[in-house]
Amino acid sequence: MKKKLFLLLLLLTINCPLKTTFAEQTESIPFLISSEQKQIDGSIFLTKIYEVAEDFDPSKLIENGYEKEGYLFAYHKTDKKVNENKQTKELSESIAIETATDNKQGILNRLPQTIDYNKEDFTGILSLENNSIDTKPAAYKTQNTTVSTVKEYTELMAADNSYIPQTAEKEGQTLQLTDVNWAVMGTGLAGDTLVPTEYKATATYSKTISNKVPSSYVTTAIYTGTVSKPEPTTITYTLTYVGTPIKENSTIMEKAEKQAHKQIQEERQIKEDKEIKEIKQNNTVFIKMLFGALLGILFSSGMVLLFHKKSQKGVKICNLQDEEYICIGYQKMGKEDFVIDLNPLYELIQSSCFYFVIDKYTAKKLYGKTISITLHDETKEQMIIPNSVSEYGQPYCFMLEIGGKEHEK
């Protein structure tokens, strides 16, 4: 009766949808990037991609054994990717230099083509924008210049400055007469004396002009580029689950238990037949001895059942064969040895899909620990975490795919 009740409860837990316990296992909910279900080579896989902090425990992401779209999914593997995050931005930086001239080539020779940027944790290299160069005077000085011109005046009757204009125009400036040179151009007799009768004047006009001219220049230039600063590193975890149709899983435990029960009944019948045969052969035994023998039979049967129960403590190993999970053996697990070795069962293995059932006593010792499953040179790990399929005080069930085509006969 107890066994039937246990089987009923176990089957109900297998077929119950998983209520999310993920949020209860973590202090903060990781960011789920995507969730995708797809079929590869006839098998159904579900991948969930999370982005979490660098110190986050990835085992808390595992959701083992839950239903979705008619499939029961079991944890398969976790892939890890480290993200070196940084914040970037485009910016401009202006610099200024002072020069004695406004010669563009000379200024370009003094301006660096790139500058290093390092402010507010942002770093990077900025490049010169040639069309941004602007040169302006920074200071002025007074500079005196003299504007002058020379004019000639001919056919003058006397060497008299009054015949000469006192000003002259040049480049918009009015120049003053500053010097006159006279030359005799013709003579005549006045009695017996030869005297000048015609003169030529060469007049010089000049003016001093004071101007303010630049004594130095300042050039500004703009540098542009992309700068960045590091941000906290994050980890991207890709969790892969393997799914099997729920119809198949609903009969796994029932068939495995029926097979084990049948084996117990056969062993018990053989034992009882042997005991009855011995009793019939010994017809001189008193009734008390017969009664004692019957008690011995019952005791022996109980011991056989107890021994069988103890032999089932550990891990029940089922293999997918002809679209059904068949129990191919049991394996005990010690307190320190958390390994399921499939190699001794190699002759019975027909596929790479396995279903494992850990009895509630062994599972209770393994909660929070990681066990290893080995087949030939391949080893996979499974974190024992209770969920809606396997709660505390109940057998722990999980699926695993191990041993691909390279292991097939």
- In this predicted structure, the answer to whether residue 24 has a pLDDT above a threshold of 50 is no
Most confident listed range (19-28, 39-48, 58-67, 346-355):
346-355
Residues sharing a CB contact under 8 Å with residue 335, sequence separation 6 or more, in sequence order: 365
- In this predicted structure, the answer to whether residue 18 has a pLDDT above a threshold of 70 is no
CA distance to 6, 143, 152, 153, per residue, from 175 (Å): 126, 18, 15, 17
Q: What is the pLDDT of residue 171?
A: 84
- In this predicted structure, the answer to whether residue 225 has a pLDDT above a threshold of 90 is yes
Most confident listed range (52-66, 260-274, 297-311):
52-66
What's the CA gap between 245 and 70, in Å, rounded?
Answer: 6
Q: What is the pLDDT of residue 204?
A: 95
Q: What is the pLDDT of residue 258?
A: 61
Judged by average pLDDT, the poorest of 202-206, 214-218, 331-335, 362-366 is: 331-335
Mean pLDDT, rounded, for 4-11: 45
188 pLDDT tier (thresholds 50, 70, 90): confident
On the 0-12 / 13-18 / 19+ scale of CB atoms within 10 A, 392 is exposed
Taking a C-beta distance cutoff of 8 angstroms, is the pair 29, 51 a contact? no
Q: What is the pLDDT of residue 49?
A: 94
Percent of the chain having pLDDT more than 70?
75
| Alpha carbon 323 to its chain's center | 40
- In this predicted structure, the answer to whether residue 232 has a pLDDT above a threshold of 70 is yes
- Token pair belonging to 54: 């660098």
- Render pLDDT for 234-246 as a digit per residue (tens, 0 to 9): 899 998 888 888 7
Q: What is the pLDDT of residue 222?
A: 94
Task: Tell me the whole-structure pTM to 2 decimals.
Answer: 0.37
Position with higher pLDDT, 364 vs 180: 180
The DSSP 8-state label assigned to residue 112 in this structure reads: -
Taking a C-beta distance cutoff of 8 angstroms, is the pair 243, 249 a contact? no
How far from each other are the two terminal CA atoms of the chain, in whole angstroms?
43
Helix ranges, 235-286 (H): 246-249, 252-281
pLDDT, averaged across the chain: 78
On the 0-12 / 13-18 / 19+ scale of CB atoms within 10 A, 196 is middle
Taking a C-beta distance cutoff of 8 angstroms, is the pair 296, 303 a contact? no
Most confident listed range (24-33, 78-87, 249-258, 282-291):
78-87
What's the CA gap between 152 and 47, in Å, rounded?
Answer: 106
Give me the residue label for tokens 């019948």.
Answer: 269
